[in-house]
Amino acid sequence: MYYTTHLLAGAAVGHLTGNPIMAGVLGLVSHACLDAVPHHDYHNLKPGLVDCTLGTALWFGVLLPVGLPAAVGAIAGAIPDLEVVLKQVFRNWPQIFPSHSGLSPHRRLKLPWGILVQAFTSVISLALILL
Ligand SMILES: [Zn+2]
Protein backbone atom coordinates (compact mmCIF):
# COMPACT_ATOMS: atom_id res chain seq x y z
CA MET A 1 0.00 0.00 0.00
CA TYR A 2 0.96 3.63 -0.26
CA TYR A 3 3.10 5.35 2.37
CA THR A 4 0.22 7.63 3.42
CA THR A 5 -2.16 4.69 3.86
CA HIS A 6 0.33 2.80 6.03
CA LEU A 7 1.09 5.97 7.97
CA LEU A 8 -2.57 6.70 8.78
CA ALA A 9 -3.43 3.09 9.63
CA GLY A 10 -0.38 2.79 11.89
CA ALA A 11 -1.31 6.07 13.56
CA ALA A 12 -4.88 4.88 14.15
CA VAL A 13 -3.63 1.64 15.72
CA GLY A 14 -1.12 3.56 17.82
CA HIS A 15 -3.69 6.11 18.91
CA LEU A 16 -6.12 3.37 19.95
CA THR A 17 -3.46 1.61 22.06
CA GLY A 18 -2.49 4.82 23.85
CA ASN A 19 0.96 3.32 24.48
CA PRO A 20 4.03 4.21 22.39
CA ILE A 21 5.62 0.74 22.70
CA MET A 22 2.44 -1.10 21.74
CA ALA A 23 1.95 1.48 19.01
CA GLY A 24 5.34 0.56 17.56
CA VAL A 25 4.69 -3.18 17.66
CA LEU A 26 1.13 -3.00 16.32
CA GLY A 27 2.13 -0.40 13.73
CA LEU A 28 4.51 -2.97 12.22
CA VAL A 29 1.77 -5.62 12.38
CA SER A 30 -0.63 -3.23 10.62
CA HIS A 31 1.83 -2.95 7.74
CA ALA A 32 1.85 -6.71 7.13
CA CYS A 33 -1.95 -6.90 7.46
CA LEU A 34 -2.53 -4.06 4.99
CA ASP A 35 -0.06 -5.50 2.48
CA ALA A 36 -2.19 -8.68 2.50
CA VAL A 37 -5.24 -6.65 1.40
CA PRO A 38 -5.31 -6.45 -2.41
CA HIS A 39 -4.18 -2.95 -3.46
CA HIS A 40 -2.42 -0.84 -6.10
CA ASP A 41 1.28 0.05 -5.85
CA TYR A 42 2.99 2.74 -7.92
CA HIS A 43 6.36 2.03 -9.47
CA ASN A 44 7.73 5.41 -10.47
CA LEU A 45 8.98 8.60 -8.88
CA LYS A 46 6.19 11.18 -9.37
CA PRO A 47 3.38 9.45 -7.42
CA GLY A 48 5.97 8.44 -4.85
CA LEU A 49 6.96 12.04 -4.27
CA VAL A 50 3.31 13.14 -3.97
CA ASP A 51 2.61 10.27 -1.55
CA CYS A 52 5.70 11.03 0.52
CA THR A 53 4.95 14.76 0.68
CA LEU A 54 1.30 14.21 1.64
CA GLY A 55 2.14 11.61 4.29
CA THR A 56 4.92 13.66 5.83
CA ALA A 57 2.71 16.77 5.94
CA LEU A 58 0.00 14.72 7.66
CA TRP A 59 2.53 13.33 10.14
CA PHE A 60 3.75 16.80 11.17
CA GLY A 61 0.41 18.60 10.85
CA VAL A 62 -2.07 16.06 12.22
CA LEU A 63 -0.53 12.90 13.68
CA LEU A 64 2.27 14.35 15.80
CA PRO A 65 -0.07 16.88 17.52
CA VAL A 66 -2.51 14.04 18.35
CA GLY A 67 0.08 12.41 20.58
CA LEU A 68 3.14 10.18 20.84
CA PRO A 69 1.34 6.83 20.34
CA ALA A 70 -0.18 8.03 17.05
CA ALA A 71 3.16 9.45 15.89
CA VAL A 72 5.07 6.26 16.79
CA GLY A 73 2.39 4.00 15.29
CA ALA A 74 2.52 6.01 12.07
CA ILE A 75 6.27 5.64 11.74
CA ALA A 76 6.16 1.93 12.60
CA GLY A 77 3.33 1.40 10.13
CA ALA A 78 5.20 3.05 7.28
CA ILE A 79 8.87 2.27 7.95
CA PRO A 80 8.91 -1.25 6.39
CA ASP A 81 8.44 0.33 2.95
CA LEU A 82 11.80 2.07 3.34
CA GLU A 83 13.40 -1.16 2.13
CA VAL A 84 11.19 -1.01 -0.97
CA VAL A 85 12.40 2.53 -1.69
CA LEU A 86 16.01 1.50 -1.09
CA LYS A 87 15.59 -1.38 -3.54
CA GLN A 88 14.51 1.15 -6.19
CA VAL A 89 17.78 2.98 -5.64
CA PHE A 90 20.08 0.02 -4.94
CA ARG A 91 18.95 -2.95 -7.04
CA ASN A 92 20.40 -5.55 -4.65
CA TRP A 93 18.93 -4.10 -1.45
CA PRO A 94 17.46 -7.05 0.53
CA GLN A 95 13.73 -7.30 1.21
CA ILE A 96 13.39 -8.75 4.73
CA PHE A 97 9.91 -7.60 5.87
CA PRO A 98 7.60 -10.64 5.50
CA SER A 99 5.15 -8.99 3.07
CA HIS A 100 8.05 -7.85 0.86
CA SER A 101 10.20 -10.98 1.03
CA GLY A 102 7.38 -13.25 -0.15
CA LEU A 103 6.88 -14.89 3.26
CA SER A 104 3.36 -13.38 3.60
CA PRO A 105 1.00 -12.28 0.83
CA HIS A 106 1.38 -8.94 -0.97
CA ARG A 107 -1.64 -8.91 -3.24
CA ARG A 108 -2.29 -6.57 -6.17
CA LEU A 109 -5.58 -4.95 -7.27
CA LYS A 110 -6.05 -3.02 -10.50
CA LEU A 111 -7.21 0.58 -10.78
CA PRO A 112 -9.46 2.14 -9.66
CA TRP A 113 -10.21 -0.42 -6.94
CA GLY A 114 -6.58 -0.58 -5.84
CA ILE A 115 -6.68 3.12 -5.00
CA LEU A 116 -10.24 3.16 -3.64
CA VAL A 117 -9.43 0.48 -1.05
CA GLN A 118 -6.58 2.67 0.17
CA ALA A 119 -8.69 5.84 0.21
CA PHE A 120 -11.29 3.97 2.26
CA THR A 121 -8.63 2.67 4.67
CA SER A 122 -7.14 6.15 5.02
CA VAL A 123 -10.48 7.85 5.73
CA ILE A 124 -11.47 5.24 8.33
CA SER A 125 -8.03 5.53 9.96
CA LEU A 126 -8.22 9.33 10.05
CA ALA A 127 -11.72 9.14 11.55
CA LEU A 128 -10.46 6.77 14.28
CA ILE A 129 -7.70 9.24 15.11
CA LEU A 130 -9.76 12.44 15.09
CA LEU A 131 -13.13 11.30 16.49
ZN1 LIG B 1 4.83 -2.85 2.31
Residues 18-57 have pLDDT tens digits of: 999 999 999 999 999 999 999 988 888 899 899 999 999 9
78-116, pLDDT tens digit by residue? Answer: 999 999 889 988 999 999 999 999 898 888 888 899 999
C-alpha 3 – ligand 1 centre gap (Å): 8
Count up the domains in the chain and report the number: 1
79, 75, 3: which is closest to 42 by C-alpha? 3
77, 61, 60, 57: which is closest to 16 by C-alpha? 77
Domain coverage including residue 93: 3-130
C-alpha 99 – ligand 1 centre gap (Å): 6
12/78 Cα distance (integer angstroms): 12
C-alpha 80 – ligand 1 centre gap (Å): 6
How far, in Å, are 31, 105, 107 from residue 71 at the CA level?
A: 15, 27, 27
C-alpha 53 – ligand 1 centre gap (Å): 18
pTM summary value: 0.93
